[in-house]
Amino acid sequence: MNKLIVSPSPHDENYLKTSTIMLNVIIALLPALGVGFYMFGFRAVTLTAVCIASCMMFEYVSRKIMGRSNTISDLSAVVTGIILAMNLPVTLPYWMAVIGCFAAIVIVKQLFGGLGQNFANPAITARIVLMVSFPSAMTHWIKPTEYDYDAVSSATPLAVKAAGGDAPSYLDMFIGKTGGCIGETCALALLLGGLYLAARGIISLAAPVSFIGSLFLLSWAGGDDPVFSILAGGVFLGAFFMATDYATTPITFKGKIVFGLGCGIITFVIRHFGSYPEGVSFSILLMNVLTPYIEQLTRTKIFGAKEAEKNEG
Amino acid sequence: MKKLNGIRLKHRKNTENSQTIDFTLPAKVVIPMSMHMGVPCQPLVKVGDTVKVGQKIGDTDAPFSVPVHSGVSGKVTAVSDYRNAMGTVCKAVEIETDGEQAISDDVKPPVVTDKESFIKAVRESGSCGLGGAGFPTHIKLNPKTPIDTLVINAAECEPYITADYREMLECPDDIIGGINLIKKQLGIKNAKLAIEANKPEAIKNFTEMAKNDDTIDIITLPSSYPQGAEKVIIYNSTGRIVKEGELPSDEGVIVINVSTVAFIYRYMQTGMPLVTRRLTIDGNAVGEPKNVRAIIGTSFRELLDFCKTDIDSIKKLIGGGPMMGMSIPDMNMPVVKTSNALLAIKTYDERKTSNCIRCGRCVRVCPMGLMPAEIDKAYKIKNIAELKELKVMLCMNCGSCTYVCPANRKLAETNQLAKSLIPRK
């Protein structure tokens, strides 16, 4: 007769694993990634592969050096690699992308304790590190579907507009036929991915809706073209895939709303008043930093709880 | 009215259509002196004594305790130390049955004239909460504050278990009789029989039975776990909120399990104390899941054999439901008053626990609105002030947070450990 296993209740679970969640995020990223591959050609594929491989390698090596368990199988490094690649221009030299992966996985994630412990979004922070370190390589854009990587720099819709030019049509922006990072141009594909995650119960739409909604309303009130404003730059990529990151955004529903509002406001302020055309990365990073405070102020209402007694030591 | 959080579970009520079978008389029974919440009883018999069915074999003066009776006639062969599934040690009386099942002369309907004699009779019946908690019924029915509503807990929200459901289908008159009896004796105006939506037949039957009685409401509870938790069922059937540190009676409510109500009614008719109980035998190691009425003290092993269980394949044995039941360390342990189910599970693989990914699922499912992920963090650094702030004491250990955690963190367990850090006043 076997020895019976004795453990505290509950004795059942729903068998949802971290890796299943990550796999769903990967599935949700595929449409936008596919559009990116189509618009920007084969180099987009190889750049993405380089990012995924180096993220996994850095994850493995850094945990090995720190004497921690191997966490490759939770797929979070793969997700970071894909999202980071989607945040890069297709012409970026591979070695720069590897530096980005190092910043994302080693500095932002593993040095703070690994999955769930990092306070800032690894991909966003890596994008900012690269943008500050290699400004010209990070703003070298090519025309979609032409696959001419040596061509004189094209421009993103935001850059065009900032320079006083004519913005592309809403339709082109919606389907991703504009210059920009590999995975940020097609709002439609990103929206599909986001809705898929929401339907699977992986993410809440609270932050994306309040992010995109507040940016839309503020742009409108500020006299900008609100539709252009939400379709341009990394708004959809940021809203659905980075403002919903578990580790770096608030847990509670109220907190997620506040987080999204903050992102919308900061993006608007940077774009409207700053000289810098993009604003999504900085807005998300700034809100990441505020997340612990937001969380402190948006705790759940406890059923039947009484206020703490005043005279308690 | 705000909807409380909860989780959807697979109901797995495989035994809902299985008529209760009386389990044959075992050759011996082992009856622990502690089957209720509260102080264990002292044995009233010694080795060599003969006992009869319904005879009291254990009692104590402690107020928070109920007497223990024998369900068999036979000879006491041992009175020895016994460790129950909670780890508590008490005495247990072992009786070899003689097959006569002669009934004790003490078994006669109690004389009830007023509330005091009613409560006394309830105590003498050996009754404690049959839903699994084992709270002494005579304490529950004798609160210090006035009560206007009696809530009958027929949620049976845990997977597998159908013991209460079979009580409702097989003994509906005892239940209605018991409700009316308690209402009358305690002077309670209204009763609410609260049944989870996954038992439509019971809801239909009782709605029909109570249609001419406007003091009994049949409440359909949503099919979401944990409906049977006391604070949840009170809120969902009366709209009242039992606040932190309060008892249900402070809100004018008593909650009592449906099988307990039916038992009290039968006891008042026959005088036969609590010596048998219905339990569901199920789980994937069990060949023929059944509802069985067993004499208290019968060994689990015999019931498992009776239900064609592949004994060697069992990895885990659970007394009660999969969410809040207790691991049973030994198959030879006996059926006790609180055994509403016995689950034999052959597929149990402990998954590795990994980092919290802050997905927030535990927060979204907690019926009390607690934040288990935050409690987990505060527990790790033993931050008692923070644990108090997070109201960990309100956790009722329903297990929903652990159930949904993708990182397989034992959040419910951590909550219980965290409670022990908070000094009691």
* pLDDT score, position B131: 87
Asked if pLDDT for residue B386 goes beyond 90, the answer is: yes
Asked if pLDDT for residue A308 goes beyond 70, the answer is: no
Residue A107: DSSP 8-state: I
- Segments forming the whole domain that contains residue A153: 18-296
Rounded mean pLDDT, B253-273: 97
* pLDDT score, position A311: 45
**Taking CB atoms and an 8 Å limit, are A10 and B314 in contact across chains?**
no
Q: For A29-66, what is each residue's pLDDT tens digit?
A: 999 999 999 999 999 999 999 999 999 999 999 999 99
* pLDDT score, position B257: 97
Q: Model-level pTM?
A: 0.92
* Per-residue tokens: B198: 């996954």
Asked if pLDDT for residue A309 goes beyond 70, the answer is: no
Of the candidates B69, B302, B283, B17, the residue with the CA atom closest to the CA atom of residue B159: B283
Q: Is residue A306 part of a domain?
A: no
| Angle CA B348–B353–B354, to nearest 5 | 145
Asked if pLDDT for residue A1 goes beyond 60, the answer is: no
ipTM of the complex: 0.90
* Cα A52 from Cα A71, distance rounded (Å): 14
Q: For A122-132, what is each residue's pLDDT tens digit?
A: 999 999 999 99
Q: Is residue A106 part of a domain?
A: yes
CB contacts of A21 in chain B (<8 Å) are: 357, 359, 406
* Per-residue tokens: A86: 């989607």
What stretch of H or E contains B250? Answer: none
Q: Please, how many CA atoms are within 13 Å of residue B371, restricted to the half-sphere of its CB? A: 24
pLDDT category of residue B424 using cuts at 50, 70 and 90: confident
Distance from CA of B405 to the nearest CA of A (A): 7
* pLDDT score, position A25: 97
* Cα B221 from Cα B216, distance rounded (Å): 15
How many domains are there within chain A?
1
- Structural domains present in chain B: 25-107 (2.40.50), 115-270 (3.40.50.11540), 275-348 (3.10.20.600), 361-419 (no CATH)
Q: Is residue A7 part of a domain?
A: no
End-to-end CA distance of chain A: 54
Neighbours of B326 (CB within 10 A): 21
Given CB atoms, is A307 within the 8 Å cutoff of chain B? Answer: no
* Cα B11 from Cα A10, distance rounded (Å): 15
| Domain containing residue A291: CATH number | 1.10.3430
* pLDDT score, position B4: 93
**Taking CB atoms and an 8 Å limit, are B317 and A4 in contact across chains?**
yes
Given CB atoms, is A303 within the 8 Å cutoff of chain B? Answer: yes
Of the candidates A254, A247, A301, A259, the residue with the CA atom closest to the CA atom of residue A284: A259
* pLDDT score, position A2: 63
Asked if pLDDT for residue B393 goes beyond 90, the answer is: yes
Q: For A254-296, what is each residue's pLDDT tens digit?
A: 999 999 999 999 999 999 998 777 889 999 999 999 999 999 9
Given CB atoms, is A278 within the 8 Å cutoff of chain B? Answer: no
DSSP 3-state assignment of B195?
A: strand
Could you give the C-alpha distances from B242 to B38, B83, B214, B389, B400, in angstroms and in order? 23, 34, 25, 19, 20
* Cα A81 from Cα A48, distance rounded (Å): 7
pLDDT category of residue A310 using cuts at 50, 70 and 90: very low
Question: B96 — phi, psi (to 5°)?
Answer: -90, 125
DSSP assignment of B283-349: STTBSS-EEEEEETT-BHHHHHHHTTB-GGG--EEEES-TTT-EE-S-TTPBP-TT--EEEEES---
Q: Is residue A246 part of a domain?
A: yes
Residue with tokens 């406890």: A302
pLDDT category of residue A151 using cuts at 50, 70 and 90: confident
Q: For B331-361, what is each residue's pLDDT tens digit?
A: 999 999 999 999 999 988 778 899 999 999 9
Q: Is residue A301 part of a domain?
A: no
- Residue A169's Cβ-count burial label (10 Å; 0-12, 13-18, 19+) is exposed
Where residue A15 falls (left for φ over 0; alpha for ψ -120 to 50; beta otherwise) is left
**Taking CB atoms and an 8 Å limit, are B355 and A116 in contact across chains?**
yes
Residue with tokens 């922006």: A173
Residue with tokens 């005088």: B271
> In the sheet where B42-43 sits, what is the strand order?
B42-43, B56-59, B68-69
Q: For B66-118, what is each residue's pLDDT tens digit?
A: 999 999 999 999 999 998 888 889 999 999 999 999 999 999 999 999 999 99
Q: Is residue A305 part of a domain?
A: no
* Cα A256 from Cα A242, distance rounded (Å): 12
Can you state the angle between helices A206-221 and A253-273, rounded to 10 degrees? 30
Mean pLDDT score of chain B, rounded to an integer?
95
